[in-house]
Structure 1
Amino acid sequence: MNIDKPQISLKNISKKYGNHKILENINLDIYEGDFICIFGKSGGGKTTLLNIIGTLEEYDEGELICFSKHNPIRNGKESELLRRYKIAYLFQNFALVDNMTVQENLNLAVKYSRSTDKKSIIKKALMNMGIEDKLKSKIFELSGGEQQRVALARNMVKPYEIMLADEPTGSLDSENKKIVIDTLVKLNKLGKTIIVVSHDKEFEKIAHKNYIIENGTLKKLEFAVEK
């Protein structure tokens, strides 16, 4: 674990939509093994910040260093490779292909794995999420909680060092919420970096570092859990 050099560093990042500045002079260093949660009001910039961290969205000012790549362009080759091999996403809307099966969705991600036994990787991920019996099910046949578990399994079969999660428990019942949170904690203990944006106060008890976005600025909160 490298605690001297950040995996991702944001320096004076600003972003506006039209005349509205959504983010202003954001500074944040993300280190290997961090578990970070960012809170804030709806529409306050949390998802925008997460997208900038993950090279999914451009910014207007500042500097982004992502795994030693300086200011990678969203549609550029460097960003494509970062998203393929370094960064995994857990989207609020799951971002699964509805008319494909669970297996077909995971096949789209596992193709980037260097393992020669990709079937075993998929089987293990689905077992870890308790949905191995859903392998042949179409996504549209699954509940929201099951879809979120498939989305987590999809991330687990691809190469990544950091997982970005946008409101990962936002629409889940208590059972699925516990499964998702427990899985994120387990992945973090295995060395993965986890960045969550959420309204869910449960993450206050889990994250090593907690922040809040207020009026476009990022402020560190005092409560946190020791690594």
Structure 2
Amino acid sequence: MSMLTPPGMGGKYRITGDAYPRMRRPRRRRRIVVAALAAVVALGLAGWGTLQLIDVFGGGGGDARARTAAGPACKPRKAAVTAVHVPLKPAQITVNVYNATPRSGLAKSTADELKKRGFAIGKVGNAPAAYDKKVPGPGLLIGAPAAGQNALPVLRTQLKGASLKNDTRPTADVDLVIGTAFKSLTAPKDATAALTALAKPAPAPSGKC
């Protein structure tokens, strides 16, 4: 009996020979494992190479990858400047001053102050019946349609809160009708600042890109 046969066993259970059988893993499974590892390594190298190409052609660094993920950068647009008519100078504007309030002397005192500020003065007196005691705000500025682009905006810098109105007059003069809420003309310093801003309008916003 061979020394490999356990005690008490024999017959068909008898083991012959003097060495244990060697158990080997099938070669096919080994080849599958090796092929899987090679595929993983190849994919890793391909991904690393792609990132390197992005860095080279995108400017390099993590910022390039961030820009690629976020999409193309937004290019700022140039600010659009709104076209406006060049305002007239006060000396080029003739103002008729009318008092539509029960208070006396407002037309003359207001006309004198406008004259000091460089405006030409036309007629001065009480307001016509169409406006007498019918102007609730600080004042009403009236002129031809063309005056709405130059003379009226300039005169409005002298009386904050005044309303504008167009009529069909053929002349270039404008009216300042003093309303019941009138207290005084705009302070000279503030009026000058408003007149300067009117001559140099700010660019219009271009909006989001």
TM-score class normalised by the smaller sequence? under 0.3
* Larger proportion of strand: 1
* Larger proportion of helix: 2
Greater Rg by CA: 2
Task: Name the structure, 1 or 2, with higher relative contact order (CA <8 Å, separation 6+).
Answer: 1
TM-score, length-scaled by structure 1: 0.21
